[in-house]
Amino acid sequence: MMTFGAQAIAVTAIWLAAYRLPFSSTRTRQRVRLRLSSLTGVPSKYVFPILGTLIYLVLGVSAAYVLGGPLTLLRWHVTPHGVALTVLAAAGASALTAFAMSVLYAVNPRTDVPSAVTGVRWVQEILALPGPWRWIVPAASAAVEEFFFRGVVLMGLLALGAPAWAAVVIAGVLFIVGQLVLTETRAQAVVLGLSSVTISLIGGLLTVVEGSVLPAILIHASFAAYYTNVRRPG
C-alpha cells in the first residue's frame, strides 16, 4: 500500500508539473499563442483554452494508465437507492460549499469569492471559450480528475487493504494539493481549497459506498461546469 501511495504521489506531481511548468512564463505563453494561431487559424484567445485542456486531459488519462486504472472503475450497478444517494450527495456538495463560503465571508467580509474564482488562470481560459464549451471543458477536466483520484487512487488503496477513511483522506489530499498548485493568490487558494475539500469528502464517500467512481464523476463534472458558468462575469 505504501508503494502504491508513493507512486500515486509521484505520478500526480509529474502530471501537474508537466501541465503547469512549460507555459508558466507569460512571454512563452504569448509566443506559443501567436505561433499556433498563425499555424492553425484558431483565434489566439482560444489557443490556450484548447491546448491547455488537451494537455491536462492527456496527462490525466496517462497518469491513470501508469497506475493501472481499469475502465471497470466506471461500472455502476444503478439502483434507485444509488441514484437517490447521488442526488443527495450533489445537493450536499452544493450546500457544504455554500456553507464554507458563508463562513469565509464571516471571517473576512472583504473576501471576493467570484473574483477569486474567475482570477484563476484555467478559469479565465474557460471563460474565453464560446457558449457550450464553457460547460464541456470543465466537466471533462473534472471527470478525468475524479477517475484518477477517486477511481484509480482511492479504489486502488481500498483494493490493497487500506481502511476506507484512509483511502478517502489520501486521495482527497492529493486532489486538494493538485488544485492548490493551480492557484496564484491566497484568496484563490482558500476558495478552491475549501471547494476541493467538499468535493473530496462527498466524492470519496460516495465512491466507497457505491463501489464505482461514476457517481462522483457525475457530481464533480456538473459541479465544475455549473459553478464556472454562474460565476462568469457579465
Q: Which domain holds residue 57?
A: 2-230
Cβ–Cβ under 8 Å, residues 229 and 134? yes
Dig out the grid coordinates for 147 from the structure. 477517475
The pTM (predicted TM-score) of the whole model is 0.91
All residues at 6 or more sequence positions from 67 whose CB lies less than 8 Å from its CB, including other chains: 4, 7, 8, 11, 148, 152, 153, 156
Please determine, for residue 232, whether its predicted confidence score (pLDDT) is greater than 80. no
**Nearest partner of 67 among 139, 157, 134, judged by Cα:** 157
pLDDT tens, 179-200? 998 888 888 999 999 999 999 9
**Nearest partner of 188 among 113, 125, 133, judged by Cα:** 113
The total domain count for the chain is 1
Chain centroid to CA 47: 21
**φ, ψ (nearest 5 deg) of residue 27:** -65, -40
Q: What are the angstrom distances between the C-alpha of 127 and each of 50, 80, 130, 157, 183? A: 12, 36, 8, 36, 16
pLDDT tens, 103-124? 998 988 888 888 888 888 888 8
CA distance 30 to 234: 26
Please determine, for residue 231, whether its predicted confidence score (pLDDT) is greater than 70. no
